Structure 1
Amino acid sequence: MAKIPIWKTIAERITKDIAKGHYQPGTKLPTESKLAERFVVNRHTVRHAISALVDEGLVYTRRGSGAFVAIKPLLYNIGKRVRFHQSIKALGHDANKVILSAVTRPADQEERRALGICKDEEVHVVEGIGLIDETPVSHFLAVFPAARFPNMLNTLSKHRSFTKSFAAAGVLDYTRAETRITAVVSNATTANHLNLRPGSVLLRSISINVDMDGKAIEFGRTWFSGDHIEMIVEH
């Protein structure tokens, strides 16, 4: 009978610990050094075991932070009104965003078509990371017509909220006109932002939000970690 590899035995032991509740979803596993000490093996063997658990979806890793027990994906509703922060907070979790960059530049062809603006018009482009309980779950690019919202970047830096920034510009309500969802493979940049391996499968959402007169006010592209978000399309 073939001998079971040590790394596989370690993976099975950790799996049982997770099943028994010794490690709760979202909590960090002991460090490689601690696990190596516990199982009396070298760190390479522990790393092999953790990698196997990642492949099985039981564990995920963050660069520089270690390994964590996988979290059951949260249900994110895509309906007439899509408000990421409100939806996540309604589920009892903290939601936040980190703005990576905010620039004003000429709109490209796809942005002009989505927003219904002319060739020479500019747009505000905001890039950022969406967080749930301090875990990065989405990488987004939000594009706004600069002529319609000349002070968007200033109000966004103050309110840290797209909805509040719209309200400051007189748009008190808005709805989702279109959402396209596609499974894509992450590039190195998005994988780095979401602490994933390059080549991980993501859910990409391309969307258009409109004001109550039906005029486009936001063109969005968001890449969600499929390990953390499950989308529900409402009809």
Structure 2
Amino acid sequence: MPKKLMHGQWQDVEEELAADITAGRFAKGAPLPKEAELMGRFGVGRHSVRRAIAQLQNRGLIQVEHGKGTFVRDGRLNYRLSERTRFSQNLLDQGREPFGKAIKERVIEAPRRVAEALRLPLDEQVYHIVRLEYADEEPVNFSNAFFPVRRFPGFDKSRREGQTVSSILADYGVTDYIRLRTDFIVRLPTKEEARQLMQAETQPILLQKKVDVDMKGTPVSFSESVWAGERVQFSIDNTSQLLNALAQNS
């Protein structure tokens, strides 16, 4: 017998199919059941099925190929974490196209959590950059980054001139920096986070907090980023530590 949903709404169809996909009940690249089959399974009309499919496509879980069918995407980003993690290079190494845009850039007084992470006095000024990052035109990361104004005066002017963060830091003598610490928290997104990442508010995100330091151990930036949980998986890459150890023992 078909499964009758409590409310018969497209959101119910979307969430059940999303759960099936993320749990691996549909193989990557496999076709979804036909429209009529989904209508029978959920006891809903064609409109509910089509709207659910459209939202799953917006979330990056499926791909609709006209004339062929609807297929589960094999597009989850494998984001490697290491002491020198760089977003663009991470994506390029996997054949993905990185793209980012600044949503807001301003100077603010550092909130307590930011001041503590950057080892600054309370309310000292920091540059606050809000960005949205994409992988192949798909939003994957919505971030808030902070840089100390006193150490990097003119940071905002350089940003307006189109310089990247790494090149600006290099202008101030920070030619290399490493990840000191990364923390992850799983939670539901805010309305704004869900809107920016084009995902449902009921779908968890990964909140990443990280501190980057120069080669003397002084913090150069602190950021809080939310990642679309369905589109990204993280792996820890300790290759550099292994190579250093092998070099020292050779």
Cα distance in 1 for residues equivalent to 2:137 and 2:222:
25
What is the one-letter code of the residue matched to 1:224?
W
Structure-to-structure mapping, 1:175-190, within 5 angstroms: 175-190=178-193
**Match for 2:220 among 204, 217, 228?**
217
TM-superposed deviation, 1:151: 1.7
Q: Is the 8 A contact 2:207 2:227 kept in 1?
A: yes
Q: Tell me whether 172-181 or 70-79 shows the greater mean CA deviation.
A: 70-79
Q: What corresponds to 2:41 in structure 1? A: none
Q: What corresponds to 1:149 in structure 2? A: 152
Cα distance in 2 for residues equivalent to 1:197 and 1:154:
36
Q: What corresponds to 1:38 in structure 2? A: none
TM-superposed deviation, 1:160: 5.2
Cα distance in 2 for residues equivalent to 1:116 and 1:68:
49
Among all aligned residue pairs of Structure 1 and Structure 2, give the percentage whose two residues are the same amino acid.
24
TM-superposed deviation, 1:168: 2.4
Q: Is the 8 A contact 1:89 1:95 kept in 2?
A: yes
Cα distance in 1 for residues equivalent to 2:190 and 2:63:
18
CA RMSD of aligned residues (A): 3.2
2:200 paired with 1:197: yes
TM-superposed deviation, 1:52: 9.7
Structure 1, unmatched stretches of 5+, are 24-31, 33-40, 62-66
Structure-to-structure mapping, 1:19-38, within 5 angstroms: 19=30
Q: Is the 8 A contact 1:139 1:224 kept in 2?
A: yes
Q: Say if 1:149 and 1:3 are closer, same or farther in 2 by CA, change over 3 A.
A: closer
Q: What corresponds to 1:173 in structure 2? A: 176
Cα distance in 1 for residues equivalent to 2:149 and 2:71:
41
Cα distance in 1 for residues equivalent to 2:116 and 2:101:
28
**Match for 1:135 among 113, 124, 138?**
138
TM-superposed deviation, 1:53: 6.2
Q: Is the 8 A contact 1:78 1:232 kept in 2?
A: yes
Cα distance in 2 for residues equivalent to 1:162 and 1:126:
10
Cα distance in 1 for residues equivalent to 2:127 and 2:201:
28
2:57 paired with 1:46: no
Q: Is the 8 A contact 2:213 2:220 kept in 1?
A: yes
What is the one-letter code of the residue matched to 1:154?
K
2:127 paired with 1:124: yes
Q: Say if 1:147 and 1:80 are closer, same or farther in 2 by CA, change over 3 A.
A: same
TM-superposed deviation, 1:43: 2.6
Cα distance in 2 for residues equivalent to 1:192 and 1:60:
20
The runs of at least 4 consecutive aligned structure 1 residues that moved more than 6 Å come to: 51-54
TM-superposed deviation, 1:215: 0.2
Cα distance in 1 for residues equivalent to 2:230 and 2:204:
9
Give the TM-score normalised by structure 1.
0.75
TM-superposed deviation, 1:74: 1.6
Cα distance in 1 for residues equivalent to 2:93 and 2:99:
13
**Match for 2:102 among 85, 89, 99?**
99
SS of 2:161 mapped into structure 1: helix
SS of 1:199 mapped into structure 2: coil
Deviations 1:102-133 (A, max 9, x none): 01011111111000011241000000101111
Say how many residue pairs are matched: 202
TM-superposed deviation, 1:157: 3.0
Give the TM-score normalised by structure 2.
0.71
